[in-house]
Amino acid sequence: MAMLVTGAAGFIGSHLVDRLLDAGRRVVGVDDLSRGSEGNLAKAFLNPRFRFVRVNLADFRQVESRLPPAIAAVDEPCDAVWHLAANSDIAAGVADPRIDLRDTFMTTFNLLEIMPVLGCRRMLFASTSAVYGERAGPLTEDAGPLLPISQYGAMKLASEAAISAACEAQLERAWICRFPNVVGPRSTHGILFDLLEKLSRDPETLEVLGDGRQRKPYLHVFELLDAMLFIWSRAPEKRAVYNIGPEDGGVEVADIVQTVIESTGRPTRIRYAGGDRGWIGDVPRFLYSVDKLAGLGWRPMGDSANAIRRSVAELRAGRGAA
Ligand SMILES: NC(=O)c1ccc[n+]([C@@H]2O[C@H](COP(=O)([O-])OP(=O)(O)OC[C@H]3O[C@@H](n4cnc5c(N)ncnc54)[C@H](O)[C@@H]3O)[C@@H](O)[C@H]2O)c1
């Protein structure tokens, strides 16, 4: 059966497309190319089981005119929608909250509306630790009330709510995966992308957001995909909600900065912007509980520091650095 992947041209979505194709699936990739790029799908385009449709999922006229023919052309029923399209730039949503309403919430709402037409009743949703807001102690899936501190987190939480409600109507099953910070090749944003980008412009001085003491969990994108596929195949609940993450307490920004600078082998002056967080809506420190996922039987192979080291090397190689 075919899978529909939204956000297919983005960082995580493009790796998911590759993984599903490698598993022998037919895949329809959907993206408006606002943040992703067709270059991320170079391998997928060589596969006859892949089809790409450019659709702005926030625009229902485009959704209803382009998605049904794309699924019909595949000639196989649509097994599930893996919904990854969203605004991934939290700070942009602070400057203009309509970005998250449009690209994070309306994309979800419109997909839920079109899914009965597609004959598809199962959705896996890319959610985030940002739905928890700023809370002390390990974040568990049953924590409440959830009070996000960014529009990004708010619109992800609203999407989770809409998906849950749809499970009483057009959906049969939903898997809500709350990602940590994800790193790896093809990333389009995030701390490693940002630091390497700045170093390529100015190798002498590195400006770092916040005071360097922010501490968060990081997971490599390939481990994230393993976990998503595991949850998809094993979680028993009609509405399955799982945190995905490493089993450690995370890494401090100052340590990530050192790893990045050491990888270049050049002396670089570090200038911290100050303040306890990187931007409005940033949750500077959090501890993720992944006990529920471990109880289901999945554990990551690496820890946060490992994911950072591996991704720095991969991203530098991707930029043509030695
Ligand atoms: N990368 C992380 O650390 C992280 C952490 C938590 C959650 N997530 C979630 O995982 C998903 C994938 O994130 P990513 O890091 O790959 O981001 P990304 O920006 O690389 O990918 C998102 C893709 O969605 C597409 N998109 C945005 N608005 C769209 C619209 N209106 N119509 C169609 N396509 C649209 C973009 O063009 C982009 O290709 C997102 O939902 C994100 O919120 C990511």
Number of structural domains in the chain: 2
Tell which of 179, 208, 234 closes a domain: 179
Helix (H, G, I), strand (E, B) or coil at 316: helix
DSSP string, 154-220: HHHHHHHHHHHHHTTTT-SEEEEEEE-EEE-TT--SSHHHHHHHHHHH-SSEEEESB-S--EE-EEE
| Inter-residue contact 18 to 49 (CB < 8 Å) | no
Burial of 277 (0-12, 13-18, 19+ CB in 10 A): middle
Within-domain flag for 136:
yes
Task: Out of 66, 83, 84, 107, give the residue to mutate to test ligand 1, the one with the largest number of ligand atoms within 8 Å of its CB.
Answer: 84
Ligand 1, closest atom to CA 221? 1
> Is the residue at 106 inside a domain?
yes
Same domain, 264 and 209: yes
| Pocket-testing residue among 4, 12, 103, 311, ligand 1, by greatest number of atoms within 8 A of Cβ | 12
First to last CA, the chain: 42
Looking at the structure, tell me whether residues 81 and 189 fall in a common domain. no
Q: Quick one: pLDDT at residue 318?
A: 87
Distance 132 CA to ligand 1 centre (A): 19
Alpha-carbon gap, residue 115 to 68, rounded angstroms: 9
What pLDDT score was predicted for residue 321? Answer: 67
> Does the beta carbon of 13 lie inside 6 Å of ligand 1?
yes
Position 255 in a domain: yes
How many CB atoms are closer than 10 A to CB 60?
14
* Domain edge (last residue) among 128, 162, 179: 179
Place of tokens 């391998």: 43
Percentage of residues of the chain with pLDDT beyond 90: 93
Considering only CA atoms, which residue is closest to atom 43 of ligand 1?
88
Contact residues for 101 (Cβ-Cβ < 8 A; gap 6+): 151, 155
Rounded CA-CA distance 155/157 in Å is 5
Q: Please list, in sequence order, all residues whose beta carbon lies within 8 angstroms of the beta carbon of residue 217, skipping any fewer than 6 positions away.
A: 129, 180, 181, 245, 246, 248, 249, 250, 251, 286, 287, 288, 304
Res 91: pLDDT: 86
Do 115 and 131 belong together in one domain? yes
Tokens of 250: 């995370």
Judgement on whether residues 84 and 206 belong to the same structural domain of the protein = no
Same-domain check for residues 30 and 139: yes
Q: For position 190, which CATH number holds? A: 3.90.25.10
> Ligand 1: which atom is nearest the Cα of residue 102?
31
Same domain, 22 and 112: yes
In a domain, 298, yes or no: no
* Protein residue whose Cα sits closest to atom 9 of ligand 1: 126
Write out the residue range of the structural domain in which residue 50 sits. Answer: 2-179
As a whole number of angstroms, the distance between CA 64 and CA 280 comes to: 36
Q: Are 159 and 105 in contact, with CB atoms under 8 Å apart?
A: yes
Same domain, 7 and 60: yes
Structural domain includes residue 99: yes
Residues in CB range of 222: below 8 A, 6 or more apart: 15, 184
CATH, residue 30? 3.40.50.720
- To the question of pTM greater than 0.95 for the whole model, the response is yes
CB 162 within 8 A of CB 112: yes
Do 139 and 207 fall into the same domain? no
Residues 155 and 108 both lie in one domain: yes
∠ CA 123-295-247, nearest 5°, is 95
**Does one domain contain both 24 and 139?**
yes
Whether residue 152 sits in one domain with residue 75 = yes
Q: Ligand 1 centre from 28 Cα, in Å?
A: 16
Ligand 1 neighbour 27 (Cβ under 6 A):
no
Cβ of residue 68 lying under 6 Å from some atom of ligand 1? no
**Which one of 149, 164, 179 terminates a domain?**
179
Q: Closest Cα to residue 24, out of 3, 6, 43?
A: 3
| pLDDT, tens digit, 9 for 90 and up, residues 186-232 | 998 999 999 999 999 999 999 999 999 999 999 999 999 999 999 99
Residue 228 lies in a domain: no
Return per-residue pLDDT of the chain as tens, 322 residues.
899 999 999 999 999 999 999 999 999 999 999 999 999 999 999 999 999 999 999 999 999 999 999 999 998 999 999 999 999 998 889 889 999 999 999 999 999 999 999 999 999 999 999 999 999 989 999 999 999 999 999 999 999 999 999 999 999 999 999 999 999 999 989 999 999 999 999 999 999 999 999 999 999 999 999 999 999 999 999 999 999 999 999 999 999 999 999 999 999 999 999 999 998 889 999 999 999 999 999 999 999 999 999 999 999 998 876 4
SS3 27: strand
